[in-house]
Amino acid sequence: MLSRSVVLVFAKPPEPGRVKTRLLSLLTPKKGAELHRACIADTITAVSNVPGCRKWLRVATRPDRAQELGRELQLNSRWHVGIQRGRELGARLEEAFQSAFCSGYQKVLVVGTDTPWMGSDRILRALQTMRTADTVIGPTADGGYYLIGARHFIPAMFWSIPWGTSQVLDRTLAAIRKAHASCRLLPRDFDLDRPADFERAQKMLRENKNRAATVARWMVEWEMDEIIESSRRRGRRRRSKTRRLVRV
């Protein structure tokens, strides 16, 4: 039953210079923070549309800032807002799963915010998959994952994982096998982390903006800003060239 299930959105606060850092060759820190906030909003929308489960936003920040972000996102009463506890990602994930199982949930699913187009259907599919599998993972093209779930506590899933590398998925699967648990994989997707991912997301959302409506709107606005700024730069270069010719 999904009523005994919980979906936790793991997010960082949208602070300039602390999020989307691999995109800073393309975006300013402020724009990177705006894009990250749009990713959170679309992920929240996807989870909100999953029926029959409890919903948590877990933020990697102080309790007051987490509550502030919840208010900014206009979360309704179906959402609980809390913080991530632990010094590194593995410890934070382990604590989140342990806390949820201790609270009586039978299926626990954590989703990230870097794949905001995953959609509510895929999240629901992940919960349903745990009727027959001990764990479920949504793999990403870079060797990580965009969601992970379990129907009982397997802390070793988060031990000695080289976070931020291409080995995350393989090491996690090895840990699950070693714990004699079963796992099912969802469709492979990609995270919005690098310039190539940004271009891929632009193309995808031009074809279907509803997959991540907030990110799609942000990208349209960013493209317009870039066109305007490019026009201004050309105008400044022309004026500078004209002034040099006049002095000659």
Which has more confidence, 38 or 3? Answer: 38
Q: Please state whether the predicted TM-score (pTM) of the whole model is above 0.85.
A: yes
Beta carbons within 8 Å of 178's beta carbon, 6+ residues apart: 156
Q: Which residues of 107-138 are buried (b: 16+ CB within 10 A; e: fewer)?
A: bbbbbbbbbbbbbeebbbebbebbeebbbbbb
Residues 71-81 have a mean pLDDT of 95
Name the band, by pLDDT with cuts 50, 70 and 90, for residue 244.
low
The two three-digit tokens of residue 21, written as one number: 């850092």
Q: For position 228, what pLDDT does the model report?
A: 75
The two three-digit tokens of residue 95, written as one number: 């604590």
Average confidence score pLDDT of the chain = 93
Q: For position 167, what pLDDT does the model report?
A: 98
